[in-house]
Amino acid sequence: MTMTNNDDAYGRMMWDFHRGIPSEEIVEREDGYITAGISSTYFDPHRDWPPHQRESMNYVRGRVLDIGCGPGRHALYLQEEGFDVLGIDSSPLAIKVAQERGLKKARILSVTQISSRLGQFDTLLMMGSNFGLFGNLKRARWLLRKMRNMTSADARIIAESADPYSTTRKAHLDYHKLNRERGKFSCQLKIRIRYEHYIGTWFEYLKVSRKEMGFILEGTGWQISRFIPETGSVYVAIIEKN
């Protein structure tokens, strides 16, 4: 599902920051828990990325699909490095910002709208913890099988996530427990983005441990080649066909 200007709180935040207006991303979880994020992170140049993100770019090959590209942080870097990159995002304003920043190929599409009609890709990029866009187990496996059919034989998925089990915060532990009681992954989030008076629609977003990621991939034709880093909370998985 793509957004409209009325519910594109995420894109409005990007649009304002791109124009020099200070902005913060507010994330509301279904249980009422609220967090705030810094918009500038979405615009960081390569030199300011965390080490695991910079290292993961060494595994990019061929034609690239950047899923959930936002204002183009990773897509623009790869384009500058000579890669053929298509960036997609469900946010119309985020795509407009990416285009204004110089991304040559960008389309308003959600992850559920990807298909072989976009052509064949060699690398699928899901950075910024965008493994979370899979949402839940059923949708993840459905999308992973679609991804297998729209990629080359030696294709890779480069996906970032965050292990949720390092937290000691009671609000998170209580939410994990609630999710397990509902038959979900502990950190299968239901969230929405807010910015000023703009309110986004609710959506599912998934944070998983390395072990849980391996479980999700079972039976999809994909397997984990390596983790960057091997330990720690935030990580990137290099995923290849089996």
pLDDT at res. 116: 96
**196, part of any domain:** yes
CATH of the domain at 137: 3.40.50.150
Within a domain: 181: yes
Domains of the chain: total: 1
**114 assigned to some structural domain:** yes
Residue 218 maps to a domain = yes
Output the pLDDT for position 3.
Answer: 59
Q: Where are the beta strands (DSSP E) in 30-92?
A: 34-38, 64-67, 85-89
Terminal-to-terminal C-alpha distance of the chain = 30
Global confidence as pTM: 0.95
Locate 173 and state its tokens.
């532990």
What is the number of other CB atoms lying within 10 angstroms of the CB of residue 170?
Answer: 8
- In tens digits, what is the pLDDT along the chain, a chain of 242 residues? 565 667 899 999 999 999 999 999 999 999 999 999 989 999 999 999 999 999 999 999 999 999 999 999 999 999 999 999 999 999 999 999 999 999 999 999 999 999 999 999 999 999 999 999 999 999 999 999 999 999 999 999 999 999 999 999 999 999 999 999 999 999 999 999 999 999 999 999 999 999 999 999 999 999 999 999 999 999 999 999 99
The answer as to whether 19 is a domain residue is yes
4 is a domain residue: no
In a domain, 174, yes or no: yes
Domain that holds residue 193: 9-241
Report how far residue 177's alpha carbon sits from residue 229's, in angstroms, rounded to the nearest whole number. 27
Is 1 within the bounds of a domain?
Answer: no
What pLDDT is stored for residue 135 in this prediction?
98
* d(C-alpha 25, C-alpha 136), whole Å: 23
According to the model, what pLDDT value does residue 179 have? Answer: 98
DSSP-derived secondary structure letter, 201? P
At 5 the pLDDT is: 62
Cα–Cα nearest to 52, from 222, 214, 240, 210: 210
